[in-house]
Amino acid sequence: MTVCAIENKTVGATGAAEDHGDAALEDSEPEAPGATDDPPDGADGGGAPLGATPAAPAFTIAADGSYAARLALAEVAAEGPGEAGGAWFVERWTLDGPEPYAVPLPLDQPEEPDSEVLPLADGRVLIRRRVADRHAVSLLYPTGPGTGELPLGAVECAELTLLPPTPDGVSAYALSAGAHSTSVWLVAGGVHGPEPVAEVPGRCSGGVWLDRTGRMLALDREMPGGGPVKAVAVDLERGGEVTPLLQIAPASNDRLLLADPDSGLLLIRSDAPGHDRLGWGVLGSCLPVRFPECLRPADVAVTPFAVQPGQVLMPESCAVALRIDGAAGSWVGVWRPAGRRLHQLAAPQGWQAGRGVWTREGVLRLPYADGNVACGVALLAAPADDGYGVRPSAEPGAESGMQPSAAAAPLPVCKPIPLGQAPLTGRMVPG
């Protein structure tokens, strides 16, 4: 991407920012004399780190919303004088029935809090554990009154990080980043246990699936020797063939946060405007990435975590859920590119912060657990954007039920190309 836009804003009495037009990067207003310096990289307007999501429990939702898994803490009575301690164990949440429920999956030994869990579509839970200088991978599943475990093997490396759940829910992948290259491992769904499937030059992080087949994977890559971080697309069916994905400015750090295969909507974080900003673009489009002012409210960190599916070829209509972190805690934001307004809404008590899934109809399902509900899902209808042709929505409500959304038809694999090759000079972006 060689151009990016900055949108102007006005702030209403409710505090929600509404944008009124876009301007090319060169045409943005200069900073007023005496204004404070730009926030450092990683800050979004008000000084809170945009990209750094505060620490949260290990909680992962399957791509289709059928299951979730987390590490839960059980209180254990102390053997001697003093306060009682706690033991970590894996817990699976079943979300695709008439009412969600949790199934504990404890073993004889408690889990370490830095272990990672990932639910599969068949109800088993994959867990990655660090064992000395290697990482062991197993599948856990309920069996009668106990927990069954199927060891899959181990990967000998310094660091191994599970990637987000694959769209098919059958396989699982992980990243192992080295000094000069990064290995992509198939840790579940293979024939002979964990096996490397791609070697990508540079140090990679992140991980976003670009299609519904689990073939195209986007990674944020820094080349050996340093330089800016750029998102690239990795074709796992072509031996890890790498294609540039984000090229906003030569020296900018351009990371991909979320992607919706149906509409092509991409949520991006880049410092091309001078400091880290949230922006959006469309996969394969030649239009520039836009950086709405409403996505940088003061004194909070804003992180997208879910995009409404099923909006085929209509990226501007997709509702995007965002986690907002401030001094008062964490709450929910809802935004659409066409609406240019950030709706800020209260989250249910005990929300698994930064986790949730959309239905095709625009209902956001937020998992939570509090003192009264061990496994619950709050239903939040996406607010309407007045004046932009978005249908009215029902009042938000909270229920202890979650029903599956319709299955999406598989889309053909389209090889990603760099977003945008538009000239910088005088470029105006339609709203």
Average pLDDT over residues 321-337: 96
User: What CA–CA distance (Å, rounded) separates 316 from 431?
Assistant: 10
pTM: 0.77
- Residue 423: band (very low, low, confident or very high) from pLDDT cuts 50, 70, 90: very low
User: What CA–CA distance (Å, rounded) separates 313 from 157?
Assistant: 41
pLDDT digits (tens, 9 = 90+) for 189-223: 998 899 999 999 999 999 999 999 999 999 999 99
Residue 406 or residue 116, greater confidence: 116
Q: Does the pLDDT of residue 123 top 80, yes or no?
A: yes
Average pLDDT over residues 84-91: 83
Dihedral over alpha carbons 66, 353, 388, 262 (to 10 degrees): -40
Q: Which fold, 4-10+54-75+86-399?
A: Methylamine Dehydrogenase; Chain H (2.130.10)
What's the pLDDT score for residue 5? 30
User: What CA–CA distance (Å, rounded) separates 161 from 147?
Assistant: 24
User: Which two structure tokens, joined as six digits, stand for 179?
Assistant: 């000094």
Q: For 295, phi and psi rounded to 5 degrees?
A: -90, 15
Q: Which stretch of 22-31, 119-128, 299-308 has the lowest confidence by average pLDDT?
A: 22-31
What's the pLDDT score for residue 96? 87
Domains in the chain: boundaries: 4-10+54-75+86-399
- Residue 285: band (very low, low, confident or very high) from pLDDT cuts 50, 70, 90: confident
With beta carbons less than 8 A apart as the criterion, state whether 103 and 95 touch: no
- Which of left, alpha, beta for 42 (phi over 0: left; psi -120 to 50: alpha)? left
Dihedral over alpha carbons 191, 194, 199, 201 (to 10 degrees): 160
Q: Does the pLDDT of residue 396 top 50, yes or no?
A: no
| CA distances (Å), origin 298, targets 325, 414, 417 | 11, 38, 34
Percentage, residues of the chain above pLDDT 70? 74
Say how far residue 308 (Cα) sits from the centre of its chain: 13
Average pLDDT over residues 49-60: 54
Residue 412 or residue 155, greater confidence: 155
* CA dihedral sign of residues 186, 192, 197, 202: positive
Average pLDDT over residues 26-43: 34
With beta carbons less than 8 A apart as the criterion, state whether 19 and 7 touch: yes
Residue with tokens 């198939």: 186
With beta carbons less than 8 A apart as the criterion, state whether 27 and 7 touch: no
User: What CA–CA distance (Å, rounded) separates 294 from 21?
Assistant: 12
What's the pLDDT score for residue 76? 63
| CA distances (Å), origin 308, targets 39, 109, 312, 363 | 31, 39, 10, 8
Exposed / middle / buried, residue 65 (Cβ in 10 Å: 0-12, 13-18, 19+)? buried
With beta carbons less than 8 A apart as the criterion, state whether 138 and 152 touch: yes
pLDDT digits (tens, 9 = 90+) for 227-283: 999 999 999 999 999 999 999 999 999 999 999 999 999 999 999 999 999 999 999
